[in-house]
């Protein structure tokens, strides 16, 4: 698939998807949705890719949905009922896809991550932002609610009270507050964002690709499992690691005081 409103690049094991509508703050549109779905699926199926980074062009990550798209959904609901809107959205990109692909995903957030921009970022495994970044779920200001998973993911990350406040008021939080709440793992200067993402990516890529995949799966169990069933599934996966070549290589390298050569097997 050719892309017009996003850019997909792959280099040295890192795939980068850039939202590319800078004149409208990278607003999320129908076209962007379908291109994102295609690009993320492509990355997930590419075994040469170890990390996926999502970022925005210009000075913003992604500042919410295109109003014309929302108006189109209103017209669809008026003509055919809310079920038609659900049918349309079932074929759209969902941040859930970011959780389901095997590679770790990193949101590199500069400027606004509002609405769907916030929801895409919280669908990623890790978020790094600049000191001028902000996060918001302003849907309530438009007479609608969140639709990309914020009501489910945000409370799990920052707690129900603050998530409820953000969703019910639509008010943004700045980078420092995002860091205090645990929404982001690092806050850096804008000029240091790419370097911080590259440094983190390099650390992850030095590990076993198979174990990185399994570890991501285990962490994501907390999204849809109770504590004890999640712990049991983690223990099962942990036990399976000892059948792998990478487990043997990791322990041998430690004892021999050398860097491991993981193969993902």
CA 34 to chain centroid, in Å, comes to 16
Residue 265 has pLDDT above 80, yes or no: yes
Is this model's pTM higher than 0.85 or not? yes
121 vs 226, residue with greater confidence: 121
Instruction: Quote the CA–CA distance of 162 and 181 in Å, as a whole number.
Output: 9
Confidence grade of residue 239 (pLDDT, cut at 50, 70, 90) = confident
How would CATH label the architecture of 6-205? Alpha-Beta Complex (3.90)
Higher pLDDT, 115 or 225: 115
pLDDT of residue 21: 97
The mean of the pLDDT values for the chain is 93
The predicted-structure confidence for 134-156, as pLDDT tens digits, reads as follows 999 999 999 999 999 999 999 99
Distance CA 165, CA 172 (A): 10
Predicted pLDDT of residue 263:
83
Task: Give the model's confidence band at 254: pLDDT under 50 very low, under 70 low, under 90 confident, else very high.
Answer: confident
pLDDT at position 235:
74
Domain 209-255 listed as CATH 3.40.50 = no
Q: Rounded to whole angstroms, how far apart are CA atoms 59 and 120? A: 17
Residues 109, 136: Cα–Cα separation, whole Å? 13
Domains 6-205 and 209-255 share a fold: no
Phi, psi of 61 (to 5 degrees): -75, -75
Using the structure block, give the residue that is written with the tokens 């982001």.
184
Mean pLDDT calculated for residue range 36-44: 98
- Kindly list the domain boundaries of the chain, sorted by start residue: 6-205, 209-255
Whether 247 shows a pLDDT value over 80: the answer reads: no
For residue range 59-114, list pLDDT tens digits in order: 999 999 999 999 999 999 999 999 999 999 999 999 999 999 999 999 999 999 99
Q: For residues 239 and 191, which has the higher predicted lDDT (pLDDT)?
A: 191
Residues noted as catalytic? 119, 139
pLDDT in tens, 10-32: 999 999 999 999 999 999 999 99
- The pLDDT, as a whole number, for residue 227 is 72
pLDDT above 70 covers what percent of the chain?
A: 100
As a whole number of angstroms, the distance between CA 2 and CA 236 comes to: 41
Among residues of the chain, what percentage have pLDDT more than 90? 81
How far apart are alpha carbons 44 and 97 in whole angstroms?
9
Q: pLDDT band at 259, cuts 50/70/90? A: confident
Residue 229 has pLDDT above 80, yes or no: no
């Amino acid at each position: 698939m050719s892309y017009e409103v996003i850019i997909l690049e792959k280099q040295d094991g890192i795939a980068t998807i850039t939202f590319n509508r800078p004149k409208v703050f990278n607003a999320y549109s129908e076209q962007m949705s379908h291109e994102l779905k295609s690009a993320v699926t492509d990355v997930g199926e590419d075994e040469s890719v170890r990390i996926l980074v999502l970022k925005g062009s210009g000075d913003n990550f992604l500042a919410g949905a295109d109003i014309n798209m929302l108006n189109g959904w209103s017209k669809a609901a008026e003509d055919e009922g809310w079920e038609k809107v659900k049918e349309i959205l079932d074929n759209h990109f969902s941040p859930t896809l970011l959780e389901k692909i095997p590679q770790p995903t990193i949101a590199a957030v500069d400027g606004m991550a509002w609405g769907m921009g916030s929801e895409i970022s919280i669908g990623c495994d890790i978020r790094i932002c600049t000191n001028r970044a902000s996060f918001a779920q302003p849907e309530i200001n438009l007479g609608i609610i969140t639709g990309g998973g914020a009501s489910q993911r945000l409370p799990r990350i920052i707690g129900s009270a603050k998530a409820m406040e953000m969703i019910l008021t639509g008010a943004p939080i700045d980078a420092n507050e995002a860091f205090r709440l645990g929404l982001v793992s690092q806050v850096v200067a804008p000029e240091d964002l790419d370097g911080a993402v590259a440094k983190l990516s390099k650390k992850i890529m030095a590990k076993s690709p198979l174990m990185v995949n399994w570890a991501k799966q285990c962490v994501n169990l907390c999204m849809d499992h109770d504590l004890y069933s999640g712990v049991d599934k983690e223990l099962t996966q942990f036990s399976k690691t000892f059948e792998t070549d990478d487990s043997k290589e990791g322990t041998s390298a430690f004892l021999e005081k050398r860097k491991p050569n993981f193969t993902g097997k």
